[in-house]
Homo-oligomer: A and B are copies of this chain.
Amino acid sequence: MSLVVQKYGGSSVADAAALRRVARRVVETVRSGHDVVVTVSAMGDTTDELIELAHEVTDSPDAREMDILLTAGERISMALLAMAINSEGVPAQAFTGPQAGVITTEHHGRARIIDVAPGRLQRAIAQGKVAIVAGFQGLNEETQDVTTLGRGGSDTTAVALAAALGADVCEIYTDVDGVFSADPRIVPTARKLARITYEEMLDMAASGAKVLMPRCVEYARRFNVPIHVRSSFSGHEGTWVVEETEAGGDMEDPIIAGVAHDKSEAKITVTGVPDVPGSAARLFEAVARADVNIDMIVQNVSATNTGVTDISFTLPQASVPDALRAIEADAEAIGYAGLATDDAIGKVSLIGAGMRSNSGVSAKFFAALRDAGVNIEMITTSDIRISVVTRAAHLEKAVRAVHTAFDLDTAEGEAVVYGGTGR
């Protein structure tokens, strides 16, 4: 008998019918001889609706009270799911994050899990019960207040529970069939990956692939929890996210895992920055104080004798106003000439652990973009990833060109089934 942790997202539990379908899948897993712990998100758009309600009441909701409010969402779905499983004849009990022993930092709205004390879950499992755990939430032990983990936190809850309970697998149920070599909405010939390493998945996620959040993959890598990403609608085998050795590495494995893209970033260019030591530091210290996450940075080679240079960096579009304010506030110390923002950019990334041992990947990547007529504006690389910034309007053809150049297209175009929720 093995222990399986399953996680169901909001679209998998959007209404009563969906909840009953999830209940039947849990019951199937129990009946095939497994112990099961389930993590569940809030139903459908509940979280967004609660956020809207808070903003109807006040422009500046308190973080502590916001967490109390939002955790009502998982409270509803976890109770209903436990009822639905019970009514199928399998005993189940629902537990809040605090009851499940999920201990977090004190940062309301973006707490991090620091420990899991799963005693209560273990007792439930020992009694033959399915434990249903609210995702996305935990306890700040010092103040005994509930916290939330931020968007995508339910995946992290599931992985953290799997690690603490020594589960054999953490199954993440979603509305797609798994992790694909590219977004199938842009590349219809994209293939579902049977396996992907933690490192590749981390880079895919950080490069715009939406299927898993980076922090969840990071947690899984740290505790070596195998993740199985699969559809709650189709029941097909999905994608396994595993250690590099388990992911294979034999001759037949592709060098490249996939192509990711991201249209959510903007570029800020700071012109006329004095080309002296410390300029860049002052600039990015100002941005860091505004709590803005920066992705790529490019500093132009200084033109001879001008003594000034331009610095460009990319960041989430939503953070642009904060970043601009921070830079303008420190304008004198930084000493730049101008500021320009560009929202019309896209990022294409090629990810694959096989890059490490294969030369020529970058050359092939750039050639593919050139042949497709896509201009490259910025470049960054890591040992398993190359990312470039292009015009947003060129993003889709860039993704398709790279996908084809690296032989990632399926022969006849796999039938890609998106989930039944129509979203």
A-side interface residues toward B, CB under 8 Å?
16, 19-20, 50, 53-54, 56-62, 64-66, 68-69, 71-73, 75-76, 78-80, 82-84, 86-87, 93-94, 96, 99, 120, 144
Q: Name 17 interchain pairs, CB-CB below 8 A, sorted by A.
A: A16-B56, A16-B57, A50-B76, A53-B76, A54-B79, A54-B83, A57-B80, A58-B84, A58-B86, A59-B87, A62-B86, A65-B83, A68-B79, A68-B94, A69-B83, A72-B75, A72-B79
What is the chain B residue whose CB lies nearest that of A58?
Answer: B87
Q: Which residues of B contact A78 (CB under 8 A)?
A: 68
Q: Which residues of B contact A59 (CB under 8 A)?
A: 87
With A19-B57, A87-B58 as known contacts, state yes or no: A75 contacts B80, CB within 8 Å.
no
What is the chain B residue whose CB lies nearest that of A43?
Answer: B53
Is B54 within 8 A of A80, CB to CB? yes
With A57-B19, A57-B84, A83-B54 as known contacts, state yes or no: A64 contacts B93, CB within 8 Å.
yes
Q: Which of A19, A71, A82, A84 has the most chain B CB within a 10 Å cutoff? A: A82
| Chain B min CB distance to A100 (Å) | 12
What is the chain B residue whose CB lies nearest that of A69?
Answer: B79
Is B75 within 8 A of A62, CB to CB? no
Indicate which residue in B69, B84, B144 contacts A80 across the interface (CB closer than 8 Å).
B69
Is B60 within 8 A of A87, CB to CB? yes
Q: Which residues of B contact A72 (CB under 8 A)?
A: 72-73, 75-76, 79
Q: What would 4 more interface pairs be, CB under 8 Å, given A72-B73, A72-B75?
A: A16-B57, A20-B57, A54-B80, A62-B83
Is B71 within 8 A of A86, CB to CB? no
Is A75 within 8 A of B83, CB to CB? no
CA distance A76 to B42 in the complex (A): 14
| Chain B min CB distance to A118 (Å) | 15
Q: Which of A54, A57, A64 has the most chain B CB within a 10 Å cutoff? A: A57
With A75-B69, A75-B71, A76-B50 as known contacts, state yes or no: A83 contacts B61, CB within 8 Å.
yes
With A72-B72, A75-B68 as known contacts, state yes or no: A80 contacts B99, CB within 8 Å.
no
Indicate which residue in B66, B87, B99 contacts A57 across the interface (CB closer than 8 Å).
B87
